[in-house]
Amino acid sequence: MSLRVGIVGGGQLARMMIAPAVELGLDVRVLAEEPGMSAAIAATATGDYRDLETVRAFARDVDVITFDHEHVPQDVLRALGDDGVAVHPGPDALFYAQDKLRMRAKLAELGMPQPEWAAVSDAAALQTFIDDNGGRAVVKTPRGGYDGKGVRVVASADEAADWLDALEPGAELLVEELVDFSRELAQQVARTPSGAFRAYPVVETVQRDGVCAEVIAPAPRAGERLREMTERIGVAIAQGLGVTGMLAVELFETTDERVLVNELAMRPHNSGHWSQDGAVTGQFEQHLRAVLDLPLGDPAPTAPWTVMINILGGPVSDTLEARIPAALAAHPGAKVHTYGKAPRPGRKVGHVNLVGDDLDIVVGDARVVAAHFDD
């Protein structure tokens, strides 16, 4: 009988696990939030991932549960564990992905390089942190943020007054130093329940309006010192937090050649989409292998450079699909991935991967292909 993998969440990350699951011969099943989502082709159940009985029924006949996102509540995760279900990543690890304050505290304990940070619950404490850190800071709601949501750059505590007022008793906001970074990087690591791990090459990510726009793999101008440092950070976090499956560590590279941990994701991640077409083992296959405790695959790139460009929003004047012929015609090596999602401003609806030997050419060509999906 095939190994059965249950994925909670029907978004594009679940969708992109389907191709390698089918190739490897896994029996892949998805609990989607609603009908017609990105991963609908593998959806065997529809329902609310916050409802224990819904998730429990879905998990009853699979070998492992994994996730499209990190939002399944701790009590649901722990109840599955009590039922004897293999859950990867497990609740102890996901705890840190679900709460950025806990994450900062744990990374401090592990000695990881981080921006200056503090937990604040009132305007005075927030203002003090701002004043102590150059007059500006980044305020984050510890839970529920993604793609720039729940993140605000402020110059005074007043600008976060609504968030402070809305805090439950005992709750806190995370405030971080506004890092003077030269660029953003991402380090991915796969880790199995048995403790085996594999690190991907560090990549450069380019964000626009808080959303990943482009990725270059491997990161240009990344010397051995930087590569070893980011890999050591990724592996230390994967091990220290007990992550199983794919871990992405988003990093700031500072103007003074340090790297600081920005965010964590415990699942396949946008910064790793390049690996579908540019690595021996893509991150979606690797995640499945990791959560099933199978031997991990080689994460090495298959070409000198791979560039990934997100399709953000997509065309309004016609459909994404209508643009595919022109996009494919623009370059015979272009790999176009779409997510089966309706276009909406800023929404991630697909991406383009392109590999090659000359970075400037690959970047230029990839942008030409991706531009066919703009309005």
* Residue 323 contacts residue 294 (beta carbons within 8 Å): no
Residue 179 annotated as part of some ligand binding site: yes
Give me the residues that bind its own copies (CB under 8 A), please.
1-3, 15-16, 18-20, 22-25, 28, 41-42, 198, 276, 280-281, 289, 294-298, 302-303, 319-321, 324-325, 328-329, 332-340, 350, 355
Judge whether 178 is annotated as a binding position. yes
Contacts of 365 (CB under 8 A, 6+ apart): 330, 331, 334, 354, 356
Of the CA atoms within 13 Å of residue 88, those in its CB half-sphere come to 27
Q: How far is the CB of 83 from its own copies (least distance, A)?
A: 23
Are 262 and 66 a contacting pair, CB within 8 Å?
no
Question: Among all chains, which residue has been given the structure tokens 């089966």?
Answer: 340
Q: Where are the beta strands (DSSP E) in 222-358?
A: 245-254, 259-265, 305-312, 335-338, 348-356
In the block, residue with structure tokens 């007054």: 161
**Residue 100 marked ligand-binding:** yes
Residue 26: CB minimum distance to its own copies, A: 9
Report whether 174 belongs to an annotated binding site. no
Q: Which of 65, 93, 81, 76 is nearest to 3 (CA)?
A: 65
Q: Please, what is the minimum distance in Å from the beta carbon of residue 322 to its own copies? A: 9
Provide the minimum distance between the beta carbon of 191 and its own copies in the complex, in angstroms, as a whole number: 15
Residue with smaller CB distance to its own copies, 94 or 352? 352
Q: Which is nearer to its own copies, 17 or 264 (CB)?
A: 17
Tokens, residue 366? 């990839």
Quick one: 100 or 198, whose CB is closer to its own copies? 198
Q: Tell me the closest approach of the beta carbon of residue 333 to its own copies, in angstroms.
A: 5
Identity of the residue, 262 or 276, whose beta carbon is nearer to its own copies in the bound complex: 276
Please state the closest distance from residue 347 (CB atom) to its own copies, in A.
14
Question: Is 172 annotated among the ligand-binding residues?
Answer: no
- Full DSSP string of 178-228: ---EEEEEEEEEEE-TTS-EEEPPPEEEEEETTEEEEEEESPTT--HHHHH
Angle between the N-to-C axes of helices 74-82 and 91-98, in degrees from 0 to 180, rounded to the nearest 10: 180
Q: In the complex with its own copies, which residue's Cβ is closer, 37 or 103?
A: 37
3 or 105: CB nearest its own copies: 3
Helix 320-330 and helix 359-371, axial crossing angle in degrees, nearest 10: 150
Q: Is 310 annotated as a binding residue?
A: no
Give the chain's largest Cα–Cα span.
Answer: 61
CB 237 within 8 A of CB 279: no
114 or 338, CB closer to its own copies?
A: 338
Q: For its own copies, which is the closer residue by CB, 72 or 354?
A: 354
Element containing residue 139 per DSSP (H, E): strand 137-140
Could you tell me the smallest distance in angstroms from the CB atom of residue 13 to its own copies? 13
Dihedrals phi, psi of 153, to nearest 5 degrees: -90, 125
CB of 317 to its own copies, least distance (A): 15
Is 263 annotated in a binding site? The answer is yes
Indicate the annotated binding residues.
100, 140, 176-179, 184, 262-263
Indicate the annotated binding residues for ATP.
100, 140, 176-179, 184, 262-263
